[in-house]
Structures are given as C-alpha cells and as structure tokens.
Amino acid sequence: MTLAKLPPQPKLENCSLEFQYEIHERRKTQNRQWAIASIVYSLGCIAFIAVPSLNSITKTLWRTAQLPTTDSMKSVAVLNYSKDPDFTKPIQKGDVILGYEVTSGFGKRVAPISGASEDHKGIDLATPEGTPLYVIGNVESKDGFTGYGDVFCDNNLFGTNKEGVAAYVKVPNFPDLEFVYWHLKSCISGRLAVGSKFAETGNTGNSSGAHLHFGVRVVGDWAALNFKSEWQHPTTGVLRWSLEGKEPQKVANKSTVEKLRNAIAGQESNHDSKAVNPHSNALGYGQVMPENIKSWTKQCLGEELTEAEFLANKSKQITVIDCKLKEALEEVGQTTTDEDLKVRKVASIWYSGDPSLYDNPRPQTYGTGSYPSIREYTLQVLDRYKKQ
C-alpha cells in the first residue's frame, strides 16, 4: 500500500446537490474542520448523482437550504447501534482492545508532546505500525444504500503536521457520525466496500510513538437538516469493528446457547432425554436424527457413540447439542445481527438443516407423522427462548 495522494478538488457544480448544500453550510459556519467532512463527501458525489431517489431528496434539500437549521430538528446519534455491551462501553485508558493497550483516554489530559493541558478528542491505542484498519458497516441493509464507506485521506492538510496521515470515514450505518483515524502509515481514499482495508496505523504527525488516534464525531444528519460537530467518547465496539473488519459478535456465551438448548429441547422432546420419535427415530433431548449421532459425537465429544449410548447419557447429549448450536449461531451470525432472527435461523437449522427456510409456512411431514411448518416451529422456539 502506498501513501494516498490528496484527491483533486472536485468542481462544486459537478457534485451532488447534497454535497453542494454541505459546502454551503460549511461556508456559512466558517468552520475549518467542516471542510474536511465536506471533502469526504466529495468523493461520493458522483455516486450520489447516480442514485436518482437520493438525488430528488437532495434537490428538495437544496431548495430548502435557505431555511435556518435548528436544534429542534434533532438527529439520532447511533452509537447505541447494537445491543452488544461493547457498543455502549466508552473506551478508557488502560483498556486492552484486541491485545492493544489504550494509552490515552478521551477528554482532558496532559499532551504527550507539548506537555500542555489539552482536550483529547479521541483515544490512543498502542497499535504497532502497519496494523490494518477496515471500513466498518454492514453489507446487508434494509435501505439498499449501505455496503460502502466514504474514506477521505489527508496528509498534513493544514500544515500543522498534527494528525499526520489522517482518515475520515463516513458510513451509511451511522449517518450522524464521522470516524477519525490519525497518525496513519498509509491510507486509501474513495468509496470502499465495508470490510475492506483502507489504512495501516503508523507514527506520522505529532506522535510520540506508533499508535492509532481514534475519534468519533457527531456531524449531524443531513436529511434532518441538522448539522453539528461534537466529539463523542468512542466506544469499544466501533474500534473493534475497525480493527477486525467485521462487526464484533457477541461471544456465544453460555446463557445464549443454554437458552436456545432449553427452547429447542422443550419444542422437540418436552425436555425428555429418553424420547424417541416414532416416525423419524430422532433421539433424545434435542431429537437428533440417528444418522447424525456418529459424526456429531465424534466432533463434539471426541468419541463415537452408538444410538443407545447417546440415548442413555443426558449430559453427553447436552454437550453435543450445545456444540452444534454454537456452530449454528456462528453460521447465522455471518448473515444477521438481529437477535430474534438469529434464534429463528438457528431453530431452522435444527429443524430443517437450512437457516434460510426459517419463515417457510408449508406444513412438514415425516412418514405418516405431520409436524408444524418451519415458520411455526421457529416462532415457537423464539417464544420459548424469550420466556427464559
């Protein structure tokens, strides 16, 4: 990867109306920092023009641009994006994130170089030079507009050499926020796919050693005609996302698996570890199909059990069920972050082998037995899951 050059200044009139409006606002506020955010968007301006629906919205925006912006048009800060506690946990000095220590926290501190007191706008993470950074955001989205992030790299834009090589990233998942990465070794500007590498951490600018300065700024939501610029205390989840290239998953902790196991066992066998299905011969607490017993016990217990041995040992059944549920949770975690959907998709895997059938309404039969549709089954499992 090479150092990014400053992109050419786009002609304002070639940009989207949305971007032009942004510039207009920035000029009005005469805030130098805003110019950076504007240039971030300039990278996306051609793409914006290509989206007709957005373009029509921006035309309306432009027409109403003379309206004063007011604080009553409040936008929603979106750092509470996920239920994962990581996303609401402010990063503190001394935290260790993915093995890297947080050497400086957010807010008032004594500046490491000048020694003067300053307001630290982000946090510092002791990453070695060359640590990759990835565009955060979801590939899957309802609005059809995510999947990309706008990255603007600048190298000493204002000549202060404070930030060194810096990246400013906007992603549709967090429309109010701008993510800021300073002291980079390298950076790639442009509209990049989420999960792709856009930079490597370094030791450029006013930096007393290799580290990443990470900041989060609330810049407001254009659609709500709400503009602002406030530094926010960064949280662990978004930083982890930047470092890992995928949304930090809740570790499939015991209670999630336990709740799923209880829900499925209730549905399958009414919690009877000796139950045998008269039509399919499915066995035990989780009603495991006989043809799966050998491979699943080998995989999860390290020993192949016979059907009779499996049926006779409840705790081994539970170990096997938990092991397969964990596997299923990991699989569905790749496709959705919605908690309810995860449970239903795992239930669908358990019932049909296929997570995508979770909402299939067709009644199921096995031999002469008739069974609930996959939709009914997964809804019932979800209901049982939620009652715990």
Select the residue interacting with Zn ion from 18, 22, 86, 124 (CB under 5 A).
124
CB 205 within 8 A of CB 182: yes
Measured from the CB atom, the residue of 124 and 176 that comes closer to Zn ion is: 124
Measured from the CB atom, the residue of 213 and 324 that comes closer to Zn ion is: 213
For 187-191, the CB contacts below 8 A with 24+ separation are 187/3, 187/4, 187/151, 187/153, 188/1, 188/4, 188/151, 188/153, 189/4, 189/7, 189/43, 189/151, 189/152, 189/153, 190/43, 190/150, 190/151, 191/43, 191/44, 191/47, 191/148, 191/149, 191/150, 191/151
Rounded distance between C-alpha atoms, residue 37 and residue 162, angstroms:
17
Site residues (CB under 5 A) for Zn ion, limited to 169-208: none
Rounded distance between C-alpha atoms, residue 23 and residue 38, angstroms:
6
Measured from the CB atom, the residue of 214 and 385 that comes closer to Zn ion is: 214
Rounded distance between C-alpha atoms, residue 346 and residue 354, angstroms:
9
Measured from the CB atom, the residue of 213 and 344 that comes closer to Zn ion is: 213
- Span from 69-77, 116-124, 225-233, 328-336 in contact with Zn ion (CB under 5 A): 116-124
- Smallest distance from the beta carbon of 60 to Zn ion, in angstroms? 39
Residue nearest to Zn ion (CB): 213
Count the neighbouring beta carbons within 10 Å of the beta carbon of residue 308: 10
Site residues (CB under 5 A) for Zn ion, limited to 270-329: none
Measured from the CB atom, the residue of 205 and 355 that comes closer to Zn ion is: 205
- Smallest distance from the beta carbon of 113 to Zn ion, in angstroms? 10
Count the neighbouring beta carbons within 10 Å of the beta carbon of residue 230: 11
Measured from the CB atom, the residue of 213 and 342 that comes closer to Zn ion is: 213
Q: Give me the amino acid identity at 158.
A: F
- Smallest distance from the beta carbon of 120 to Zn ion, in angstroms? 6
Measured from the CB atom, the residue of 213 and 345 that comes closer to Zn ion is: 213
For 247, 275, 282, 381, the CA distances from 269, given in Å and listed in that order, are: 35, 6, 10, 12
- Span from 119-127, 261-269, 311-319, 346-354 in contact with Zn ion (CB under 5 A): 119-127
Any contact of residue 213 with Zn ion (CB under 5 A)?
A: yes
- Smallest distance from the beta carbon of 109 to Zn ion, in angstroms? 9
- Smallest distance from the beta carbon of 124 to Zn ion, in angstroms? 4
- Smallest distance from the beta carbon of 266 to Zn ion, in angstroms? 51
- Smallest distance from the beta carbon of 263 to Zn ion, in angstroms? 46
Rounded distance between C-alpha atoms, residue 146 and residue 247, angstroms:
14
Measured from the CB atom, the residue of 213 and 217 that comes closer to Zn ion is: 213
- Span from 120-128, 166-174, 266-274, 348-356 in contact with Zn ion (CB under 5 A): 120-128
Rounded distance between C-alpha atoms, residue 163 and residue 213, angstroms:
9
Residues that bind Zn ion (CB under 5 A): 124, 213
